[in-house]
Amino acid sequence: MELTAENIKGEKTKYRLAQSMKECMKTMSVDNITVKQITENCGVTRQTFYRNFMDKFDLINWYFDKLLAKSFEHMGMGKTVYDALVKKFTYIQEEHIFFAAAFKYDSQNSLRQHDFELILAFYENLIREKTGRIPDETIHCILEMYCQSSIYMTVKWVLGELECTPEGLAKILVDGMPGKLSELFEKLEILS
């Protein structure tokens, strides 16, 4: 995408809306936050909000995408799954209030489902890039199971049910990777 003044302005608006959402999350649950509260808090119109996002969950998922993209960039630069996970969990820890509120919601358009879809697609694309082939059905199923488990552990950690550092959580997820997947990532030299 070409960086134009309009694109830059649009990105700034999206970040303002995300900041407003984060402010609202400090005092109320995601379910109780309205688009009106988000827009009034940052001085934009509802029309501006809806020009950028379908709903408040779309805003949450967009902001998460921005954070996740930063951690996954490291994989493209020769880093490992472990390194990317540490980066992801560090970002999540830095934005704890936002993610604790967002991960509590588990219905339509939830961050949990969005995170699952993103990491599954990321790992499948990574395998395809490294091997030149689409992962077979067995690897796909193992990846689905692993990604679901990863989200579960991430949510437990964010909600304070698992106490460890970002490095500790990344180690748990790398150590807990199913054997076939671990072997494949080790062979591709991207595990740890």
Residue pLDDT, tens place only, 120-162: 998 999 899 999 999 999 999 999 999 999 999 999 999 999 9
Which of 132, 151, 161, 21 has the alpha carbon at shortest distance from 85?
151
The pLDDT value given to residue 104: 83
Distances (CA, A) of 175 to 6, 32, 42, 43, 89: 45, 38, 43, 46, 16
Residue with the larger pLDDT of the pair 25 and 66: 25
**Is residue 59 pLDDT above 80, yes or no?**
yes
- pLDDT at res. 149: 96
Assess contact for 104 and 29: CB atoms under 8 A. yes
Determine the pLDDT at residue 175.
96
Q: What is the pLDDT of residue 2?
A: 59
Query: Is the pLDDT assigned to residue 103 strictly greater than 90?
Result: no
Cβ 17 vs Cβ 44: under 8 Å: yes
Question: Above pLDDT 70, what percent of the chain?
Answer: 93
| pLDDT recorded at residue 108 | 67
- Confidence at 181, pLDDT banded by 50, 70, 90: very high
Q: 158, 103 in Cβ contact below 8 A?
A: yes
User: Among 19-23, 76-80, 129-133, whose mean pLDDT is lowest?
Assistant: 76-80
Given a cut of 90, whether residue 53 has pLDDT beyond it is yes
- Residue closest to 103 by CA, chosen among 28, 29, 18, 19: 29
Mean pLDDT calculated for residue range 57-71: 83
Mean pLDDT of all residues belonging to the chain: 89
Tell whether the model's pLDDT for residue 89 goes beyond 80: yes
- Give mean pLDDT, residues 50-69: 89
Length of the chain: 192
